[in-house]
Structure 1
Amino acid sequence: MTNRIRSTDVDNNMTPDASARLLPLTWFHPRPKETIGLPGDAFVLTFPVSAMDVHLLSKDNDESQFGFGHVELGDRFVLTIRLQMGGLQVYWVGDMTDPEIWAAIDSWKRARHVPIMFEVESPQRRERLVGVMPVSGIAFPQEVRRNPDRAPTVHTWHDLKSLADSGLLQVQATTDIPGIPLRHVLSSAILTKRLEPFVNQRPPVRKPVPIKTHWVPAQ
């Protein structure tokens, strides 16, 4: 990452979120100093980290790799974002046609960087670790699937959450940095505004859906 992940000042009224989010830089007061120079319309990609896993971010993770992929989840495509820092790999999974996700990706293209914030879930620590990843050389082949928009259902959020929590991504994960084996893999679903109404709804029972994964690393 262009900035090593580090602790940053946080608003005492902010509370950790159990899901990954996309937050505009204008939402932060004050703005994390690592993001100074980025356009105000850039989105911050957040990731929840448990207190027991936060030590994984403090190791020497100078070498990094970043890119996008997708998973075929039944008849729906799921966008995957993957960051590897040293032996730690982090997955985000989101609805491929969600306008909020593509607005964030468009903002990263304009900024040529992705601001990333790891949020420690423990309210006692209230710690956020921030870094900025360059993306100017990354291809976006998944863009062909951003349209048409598919309205979400109760299954959409729960499928994303189930995929992130299932351990499947961890089982299939391979290192993106030659010579550096994976030691830990973390994953989280991206909760957008239009998925919020489904978080507390129980989806109807249905047959399991087949899963196929695809990955395109950074160029």
Structure 2
Amino acid sequence: MVDMYGFEVGMEVVGTLRELHVYASVSKADVSGLGTGPMLTCMLAASKAHCVPEGNVASCVHFEPVQLRVGVLMAVRVQLGSTQIIWLADMTDPEIWQAIERWKREKAMPIVVGVKNGDGWNYHTYLVPMPTYELSIEGDLPKMPRWEVEALWMGMTSPATRYIVQARAQSDKTLEHVFVYPLLTAKMSELRAEPDD
């Protein structure tokens, strides 16, 4: 069973930053020189396999702020053909900024989309061209306050936030499918691992 966004009910719907080699050997991706670099990942239900483009497709990435009542998130908006995938991250999380600097140096951002296939997964790997110039959101970073991390995580995982970001998705290209994921970094993993009072 899947929900209205195409995710399997009961499946933990988050995006992650992982080392590319974890999936590259499985998907047989041509990622020479990027094997230890960070990649963005996400998962989709089998019923949404048609949303995942095959082979080389036109792709691009944009980084934008998303204002919430509890703070500001970073939206990493990736277009793969007519599908757009958006990862929501803490704007001040050093892990995402380290990844951005690495992607700038490599001039490419690795993306891995896992599609459920029976008891396993089919992995689709893409190398999205990465802009090397200073991002517009970088200028605001020194002035950015340190927001309450738990409140940010609750905001980025909220179905309401996901719905709003999805509804506001824009593109100068054909846009048929949009998926939104909170980005589970080490910082956020530590937060989730804390025992309840």
Per the normalisation by structure 2, the TM-score is: 0.78
Secondary structure, aligned partner of 1:33: coil
1:79 maps onto 2:96 in alignment: no
For 1:144, which of 134, 139, 143 is the aligned residue? 139
Identity %: 27
More off after superposition, 128-137 vs 56-65: 56-65
Q: CA deviation at 1:74?
A: 2.2
Q: Does structure 2 retain, via aligned residues, the 8 Å contact 1:34–1:131?
A: no
Measure, in 2, the Cα distance between the counterparts of 1:58 and 1:189: 22
Q: CA deviation at 1:120?
A: 2.3
Measure, in 2, the Cα distance between the counterparts of 1:164 and 1:187: 11
1:106 maps onto 2:120 in alignment: no
**1:154 equivalent in structure 2:** 150
The residue correspondences of 1:52-71 to structure 2 (distance < 5 A) are 52-58=47-53, 62-71=57-66
Residues 9-34 of structure 1, C-alpha deviation per residue, up to 9 Å, x if partnerless?
Answer: xxxxxxx9731111123555748532
Structure 1 runs of 4+ with >4 Å offset: 26-29, 200-203
More off after superposition, 22-31 vs 123-132: 22-31
Q: Tell me the matched-pair count.
A: 184
More off after superposition, 190-199 vs 110-119: 190-199
Q: Letter of the aligned partner of 2:87 in structure 1?
A: W
33 and 172 in structure 1: CA distance in 2 versus 1, 3 angstrom threshold? closer
1:49 maps onto 2:44 in alignment: yes
Q: Which runs of 5+ in 1 are unaligned?
A: 1-15, 204-219
**2:122 equivalent in structure 1:** 127
1:172 maps onto 2:168 in alignment: yes
1:23 maps onto 2:23 in alignment: no
Q: Which runs of 5+ in 2 are unaligned?
A: 1-10
Q: Letter of the aligned partner of 2:136 in structure 1?
A: P
Q: CA deviation at 1:57?
A: 0.8
Cα RMSD between the aligned structures? 3.1
Q: Does structure 2 retain, via aligned residues, the 8 Å contact 1:61–1:86?
A: no
1:187 maps onto 2:180 in alignment: yes
Residues 150-199 of structure 1, C-alpha deviation per residue, up to 9 Å, x if partnerless?
Answer: 3753222111111676311221122232xx2x221111010011111333
Residues 125-153 of structure 1, C-alpha deviation per residue, up to 9 Å, x if partnerless?
Answer: 32211010111355411113444673753
Per the normalisation by structure 1, the TM-score is: 0.71
More helix by share: 2
- Ranked by relative contact order (alpha carbons within 8 Å, sequence separation 6 or more), the top structure is 1
Q: CA deviation at 1:76?
A: 1.7
